[in-house]
């Protein structure tokens, strides 16, 4: 029985039949300030039943509650405040964390269910921007979180390697490109052509028609179009892989949109058989007005497919492959409508599993208040941001810890960690304006702050040079300054499940910050390495903190150097 259950049981015993345990659990809260206690029970709702003033009720409850096992139980105003027994709590939580090791916080909520995660999805022939970073790191973190609670995640890089844009790119390459240029700087020059295409298309709408024509050719298997497409795709993928390597992200599949090119006919056929498809203005659509949605365009008037056609094929394919418990799509919030359409069409087709499709949207990154647009050339290149961050980390190490051995490796871990953490610490849906200064910051609520905290803990453990004794009576820690740290440590499993149910890595990031801050405070006020009765318990605390910080960082996809 954990601490919270104990408190509920105590209240239930005192209240008898007045309130069921489930309702007590619902009312029970954690006070904002730990000076008020560890758990608090508000008596307002009892005031109605008993027709008594809340403070009186609180006091009368305190009078009948059995106080054994608690430090104290007191009435403060309308609340019954429970103070847990510090040494028992410390013994329990430290022993649990240190015995369970890296499995602390694991659970079996997922029961082995498959969870394909659609993530990253950069577009071929375009550089990776900060927008792709979000999808990549959120998806990667969710995969780790879901794995920890017993699911089998399956990371899919749904590459944007198909669509009208390739027709446009081929036209642009024919008009202004050269093989030599592309070999020199593949993505840079492909992007240059693409930007120019859109600029010229503004005054020459015929270009768009040509682009659509070439995409149709590509879909029909035209050899020249196919050859160019393969070439562009291969070059792009090689560049992307360099970035994924820097980020430490690996995929289980690179099946992009093109992979579904030959899997769309059956879908269109199924839609036809089920009488869902109808002609409208020359195009083939599924009407969704009864869902309050705009129609889903399945085929263009020239017969070419669209994004949603491919996504339908992909969704069905993933279902057949995985029989997923959930199917996640980590895609920007501007595509919310698209996923509503996707689910609605699948439901109309009779696929009840459509309800397990979850769009995990995230907010837009802007630059100077404007949306990033590859077409308009308004981009923030991910590679450059990472370079900048790593350089800064190098400079920082040179001035703070010049003797550090593997300085380059640590600079990489810290710089990249800062960028990833920055992207994950706020609510997914928050939009933010890109600021390099903000992203590469190492002080305050940042990834490096958490990493640094762990490095300090590791440093103490190295200096102590003894193993922590896990015998429970050696884990008595009465120092009140350690209390907040202990409570946060105990909170980690809850944070993991909350992050999972909300699809929200920021829950973990914020938790890591809270724990790091509490530990730094403790560190600044208590001397750890002194030979007294509680030395072993303090080392256990330091060890547990380091272990949980590392676990939290790992769930975010951020590395934790032992020294920095």
Partner RNA sequence: GGCGCAGUAGCUCAGCAGGAUAGAGCAACGGUCUUCUAAACCGUAGGUCGUGGGUUCGAGUCUCACCUGCGUCACCA
With helix as H, strand as E and coil as C, how does 457-506 read? HHHHHHHHCCCCCCCHHHCCCCCHHHHHHHHHHHHHHHHHHHHHHCCCCH
> C-alpha angle 257/261/267, rounded to 5°?
105
Q: Which of residues 495-554 bind RNA (CB under 7 A)?
A: 498, 506, 510, 517, 520-521, 523-529
User: In this complex, which beta carbon is closest to RNA, that of residue 179 or of residue 368?
Assistant: 368
Can you tell me the distance from the alpha carbon of 256 to that of 122, in angstroms, rounded to the nearest whole number?
10
CA distance 323 to 336: 24
- Residues between 302 and 341 with contacts to RNA, criterion CB under 7 A: 302, 304, 306-307, 333-338
Q: Taking CB under 7 A as the criterion, which residues in 373-412 touch RNA?
A: 393, 396-397, 400-401, 410
Angle subtended at Cα 388 by Cα 385 and Cα 389, rounded to the nearest 5 degrees: 85
Helices (H) and strands (E) in the chain, counts: 21, 13
Compute the least distance from the CB of residue 183 to RNA, in Å. Answer: 26
Q: Is residue 258 within 8 Å of residue 225, measured between CB atoms?
A: no
Shorter beta-carbon distance to RNA: residue 18 or 185:
18
* CB 323 to RNA: min, Å: 26
**Nearer to RNA (CB atom), residue 144 or residue 425:** 425
Angle at 170 between CA 374 and CA 263, to 5 degrees: 90
- Number of residues in contact with RNA under rule CB under 7 A: 99
The footprint of RNA on residues 119-148 (CB under 7 A) is 123
β-bridge pairing 114-119 and 152-157: parallel
Residues in 167-206 at the binding interface with RNA, rule: CB under 7 A: none
Smaller CB separation from RNA, 45 or 99: 45
Binds RNA (CB under 7 A): choice among 19, 24, 37, 225: 37
Which residues are CB-contacts of 307 (< 8 A; sequence separation ≥ 6)?
163, 257, 338
352 binds RNA (CB under 7 A): no
Q: Using CB under 7 A, which of the segments 36-44, 85-93, 98-106, 268-276 binds RNA?
A: 36-44
- Candidates 193, 194, 442, 488: give the one binding RNA (CB under 7 A): 442
Nearer to RNA, 104 or 339 (CB): 339
Among the listed ranges 133-141, 177-185, 197-205, 364-372, the one in contact with RNA (CB under 7 A) is 364-372
The pattern of x and - marking residues 471 through 500 that bind RNA according to CB under 7 A reads ---------------------------x--
Nearest to RNA of 238, 529 (CB atom): 529
Beta bridge pairs of residue 41? 80
Name residue 298's beta-bridge partners: none
Smallest distance from the beta carbon of 40 to RNA, in angstroms?
3
Complex with RNA: residue 407 or 476, whichever CB lies closer: 407
* Shorter beta-carbon distance to RNA: residue 155 or 198: 198
Of 562, 539, 549, 557, which is closest to residue 488 (Cα–Cα)? 549
Least Cβ distance, residue 453 to RNA (angstroms): 7
Q: Please give the Cα distance from 288 to 282 (Å, whole number).
A: 18
Shortest Å distance, C-beta 35 to RNA: 7
Which strands make up the sheet holding 432-433, listed edge to edge?
370-371, 365-367, 432-433
Does 34 bind RNA (CB under 7 A)? Our answer is no
- The length of the chain is 564
Backbone angles phi, psi at 17, to 5 degrees: -90, 0
423 contacts RNA (rule: CB under 7 A): no
The single residue among 206, 275, 405, 463 that binds RNA, judged by CB under 7 A, is 463
Question: Which of residues 241 and 435 has its CB atom nearest to RNA in the complex?
Answer: 435
Q: Phi first, then psi: give them for residue 124, nearest 5 degrees.
A: -60, 145
260 binds RNA (CB under 7 A): no
Residue from 391, 427, 470, 472 binding RNA (CB under 7 A):
427
* Cα–Cα dist 482/534, whole Å: 12
- Measured from the Cβ of residue 101, the count of other Cβ atoms closer than 10 Å reads 9
Complex with RNA: residue 429 or 470, whichever CB lies closer: 429
User: Minimum Å distance from CB 333 to RNA?
Assistant: 6
Of residues 12-31, those binding RNA (CB under 7 A)? 26-27, 29-31
Shortest Å, Cβ 30 to RNA: 5
Which residues, numbered 229-258, are part of the site for RNA (CB under 7 A)? 257
Site for RNA in 58-87 (CB under 7 A): 76-79, 81
Whether 167 contacts 213, CB under 8 Å: yes
Among 2, 34, 44, 406, binds RNA (CB under 7 A): 44
Cα 253 to the center of its chain, rounded Å: 19
Is 452 one of the binding residues for RNA (CB under 7 A)? yes
- CA 28, chain centre distance (Å): 29
Q: How far is the CB of 102 from RNA (least distance, A)?
A: 21
* Terminal Cα distance for the chain, rounded: 40
Considering only 280, 384, 406, 409, the residue that binds RNA (CB under 7 A) is 280
Instruction: Say how far apart CA 504 and CA 489 lie, in whole Å.
Output: 19
């Amino acid at each position: 029985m954990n601490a919270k259950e104990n408190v509920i049981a105590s209240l239930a015993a005192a209240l008898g039949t007045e309130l069921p345990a489930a309702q007590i659990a619902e009312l029970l809260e954690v006070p904002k300030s730990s000076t008020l206690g560890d758990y608090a029970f508000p008596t307002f709702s009892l005031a109605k039943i008993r027709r008594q003033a809340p403070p009186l009720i609180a006091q009368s409850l305190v009078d009948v509650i059995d106080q054994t096992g608690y430090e104290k139980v007191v009435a403060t105003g309308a609340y019954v405040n429970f103070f847990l027994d510090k040494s028992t709590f410390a013994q329990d939580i430290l022993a649990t964390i240190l015995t369970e090791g890296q499995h602390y916080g694991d659970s079996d909520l997922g029961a082995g269910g498959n969870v394909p995660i659609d993530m990253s999805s950069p577009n071929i022939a375009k550089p990776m921007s900060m927008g792709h970073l979000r999808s990549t790191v959120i998806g990667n973190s969710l995969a780790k979180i879901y794995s920890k609670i017993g699911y089998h995640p399956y990371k899919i890089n749904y590459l944007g390697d198909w669509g009208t844009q390739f027709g446009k790119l081929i036209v642009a390459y024919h008009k202004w490109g050269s093989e030599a240029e592309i070999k020199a700087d593949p993505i840079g020059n492909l992007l240059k052509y693409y930007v120019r295409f859109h600029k010229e298309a503004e005054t020459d709408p015929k270009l768009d028609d040509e682009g659509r024509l070439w995409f149709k050719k590509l879909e029909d298997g035209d050899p020249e179009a196919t050859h160019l497409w393969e070439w562009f795709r291969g070059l792009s993928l090689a560049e992307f892989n360099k970035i994924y390597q820097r980020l430490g992200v690996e995929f289980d599949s690179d099946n992009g949109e093109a992979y579904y090119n030959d899997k769309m006919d059956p879908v269109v056929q199924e839609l036809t058989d089920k009488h869902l498809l109808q002609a409208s203005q020359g195009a083939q659509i599924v009407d969704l007005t009864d869902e309050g949605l705009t129609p889903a365009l399945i085929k263009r008037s020239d017969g070419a497919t669209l994004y949603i056609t491919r996504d339908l094929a992909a969704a069905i394919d993933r279902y057949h492959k995985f029989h997923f418990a959930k199917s996640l799509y980590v895609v920007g919030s501007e595509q919310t409508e698209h996923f509503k359409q996707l689910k609605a069409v699948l439901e109309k087709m009779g696929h009840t599993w459509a309800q397990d499709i979850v769009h995990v949207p995230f907010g837009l990154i802007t630059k100077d208040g404007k949306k990033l647009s590859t077409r308009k050339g308004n981009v923030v290149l991910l590679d450059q941001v990472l370079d900048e961050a790593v350089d800064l980390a190098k400079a920082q190490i040179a001035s703070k810890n010049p003797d550090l051995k593997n300085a380059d490796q640590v600079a990489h871990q810290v710089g990249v960690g800062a960028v990833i953490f920055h992207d994950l610490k706020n609510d997914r849906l928050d939009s933010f304006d890109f600021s390099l200064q903000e992203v590469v910051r190492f002080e305050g609520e940042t990834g490096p702050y958490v990493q640094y905290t762990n490095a300090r803990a590791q440093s103490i453990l190295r200096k102590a040079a003894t193993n922590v004794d896990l015998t429970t009576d050696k884990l008595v820690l009465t120092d009140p300054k350690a209390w907040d740290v202990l409570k946060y440590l105990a909170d980690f499993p809850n944070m993991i499940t909350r992050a999972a149910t909300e699809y929200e890595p920021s829950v973990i990031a914020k938790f890591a910050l809270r724990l790091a801050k509490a530990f730094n405070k403790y560190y600044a006020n208590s001397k750890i390495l002194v030979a007294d009765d509680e030395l072993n318990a303090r080392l256990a605390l330091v060890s547990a903190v380091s272990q949980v910080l590392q676990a939290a960082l790992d769930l975010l996809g951020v590395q934790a150097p032992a020294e920095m």
